[in-house]
A = this chain, B = another copy of it.
Amino acid sequence: MNILPPSSPLLRKLERLISPTDEERQAVRQLPVQLANIVPGQDIVRQGDRPLRSCFIEEGITCAYKTTGSGKRQIAAFHIAGDAPDLQSLHLKVLDMSISSLTACTVAFVRHEHLRELCRLQPRVADALWHETLVDGSIYREWLTSVGQRSAFARIAHLMCEMIVKHNAVGLCFYVDGKPSIDWAVTQTQLGDALGLSTVHVNGSLQRLRSEDLIYLKGGRLTALNWKGLQEAGDFDQEYLHLHDDLFNGGAITSTG
């Protein structure tokens, strides 16, 4: 058993969301956690599990996926540092999806009993955790909209925008020549599984994104050569990521996004 490192992206997210008091901060910092290193391509939890703990990503990228009866696979989410991919299992008894690592990851497991106690004693922290799960829900709605209504080209651009904004929010987006750039560990097969497209079509659409000078994608790195253009191509509006929410005063007062 261990505690979260002071630099934990989870703690930083909490700062942004609720500006915690010292007491709240301490309560989170002193959570008993179990840190684990995960190799790429490993299932962290599986559909059907009844987990007694949830994990928080300290480093690396994971995906959540479901498998259909005919063996097809839908990736429903990508999660990065600071995210809690299976926080829902705190209240949903049986996991309805699996979580798998895309890259080498460091994750912090926290037992549900400790999370529940934390929620009882620190209601604003509970609100922040609830908020996290609601943002996940919002992202699902947006993905559904993408897969249901947007072209393959737009879907890919949209996802890239989302990943860039999410990385930026936790300080993992770097700028080269003023152009946003992130680590990109997603293979074309995985892109297809996330967006409901075949790899062949993903490949073709990527070529078009390149040929229109919207992106540079190579060697595990994605750069938005034309950030405005990429957002337009993807019909992207970051509102749904709810990055400007804050839960000060129990949410009684809202700040303008």
Contacts and interface: CB of A to CB of B under 8 A. Distances in A.
Interface residues of A, number: 59
Interface stretch (A7-15, A25-33, A90-98, A174-182): A90-98
Nearest to A245: B93
A250 B116 contact: yes
A159 interface: no
A interface secondary structure, majority: helix
A141 interface: yes
A235 B92 CA distance: 22
A112 interface: yes
A37 interface: no
Contacts of A150: 68, 72
A131 B235 contact: no
Nearest to A72: B149
Contacts of A240: 96
Interface string A73-90: 110100000000000101
Contacts of A138: 88, 92, 96
A57 B86 CA distance: 28
Interface string A157-196: 0000000000000000000000000000000000000011
A149 B96 contact: no
A50 B257 CA distance: 11
A92 B131 contact: yes
Interface centre among A88, A144, A250 (most CB of B within 10 A): A144
30 contacts: A68-B145, A69-B235, A70-B149, A70-B235, A72-B149, A73-B149, A76-B144, A91-B127, A91-B134, A91-B245, A91-B251, A92-B131, A92-B135, A92-B245, A93-B244, A93-B251, A94-B239, A94-B245, A96-B142, A96-B239, A96-B242, A97-B141, A119-B123, A120-B123, A130-B130, A130-B133, A137-B137, A140-B140, A140-B144, A149-B196
Given A64-B141, A92-B135, A133-B133, 6 more contacts: A70-B149, A74-B144, A74-B145, A93-B244, A116-B250, A119-B123
